[in-house]
Amino acid sequence: MLVLFIDESGDHSLDVIDPQYPLFVLGGCIIDFDYHDAIVKPKLSKFKKSLFDRDDFILHTADIVRRRGIFGKLTDRTFREHFYKETNKLTDEVDYTVIASVIKKQEHLGRYGLAAIDPYMLSLRILVERFVLEIKNRGDAAPGLIVAESRDETLDNELRLAWMELRTSGTGYITASEVRKHISELHIRNKNNDIAGLQIADLIVSPVGRFVLGKNPSKIGK
């Protein structure tokens, strides 16, 4: 069974457009369920212990960049360079497929005006389409699973409603029956649940946004 772990980068609101980061990115990684539990989870734990002598914390890009909490050690340049090197090594070694949707909010708003779809919901449609196609292309008989990061109660409820709509109406490219056949459920989980796949997804989405803006290579540490 394939699992799509998704995370976001940027603000999905069309009322707030940051000139420094005028994008919304929803993306993540597709990982085989058994591989995730047998390989990715212990590999992530080993990665954490090798750098911090403990694994009871969450890899969160915002905390890494701002050097909050346990990531305060990143103020040391030598350690920081080693951390980024090992992080890039980790993301290179794990077997996953990246899918992402990047919405340039000003262009989206300019094109559709008041009819512009919320960037998160539009991106969810795109990711569901790509995930269904990936499952079909691989010939997987078992339906896949989506695991999304929890945001807040209101936004989580909106996500559940959007998921129900996709299951009943489909998209412009895949039918509702295809969605129901190939994706069994959407789970919303708190980042603090220490789910390895969500942490890998977190490391992926921000570099995707920076790449689109031409700011940085896709590697987190560069």
- CATH for 8: 3.30.420
219 within a domain of the structure (yes/no)? no
Please give the tally of structural domains in the chain: 1
Asked if residue 222 is part of any domain, the answer here is no
Whether residue 24 is contained in a domain is answered as yes
Question: Do the beta carbons of residue 53 and residue 70 sit within 8 Å?
Answer: no
Question: What pLDDT is recorded for position 59?
Answer: 95
Which pairs from 160-167 meet CB under 8 Å and 24+ separation?
160/186, 160/188, 162/121, 162/124, 163/124, 166/124, 166/125, 166/128
Q: Is the Cβ–Cβ distance between 147 and 189 less than 8 Å?
A: yes
Residue range of the domain that includes 45: 2-213
Is 21 domain-assigned? yes
Q: In the chain, what is the straight-line distance between the N-terminal and C-terminal CA atoms, in Å?
A: 33
Q: Is residue 98 a part of any domain in this protein? A: yes
Residue 54's pLDDT is: 96
What tokens were used for 219? 């590697």
Q: Which residue has the tokens 């990531």?
A: 71
Residue 221 lies in a domain: no
Looking at residue 216, its pLDDT comes to: 64
Is 63 within the bounds of a domain? yes
Residue 21, φ and ψ in degrees, nearest 5: -150, 70
* pTM reported for the whole predicted model: 0.91
Q: Which residues of the chain carry a pLDDT beneath 70?
A: 216-222
Q: Would you state the pLDDT for residue 217?
A: 52
Residue 146 lies in a domain: yes
- What is the C-alpha separation between 81 and 77, in angstroms, rounded? 6
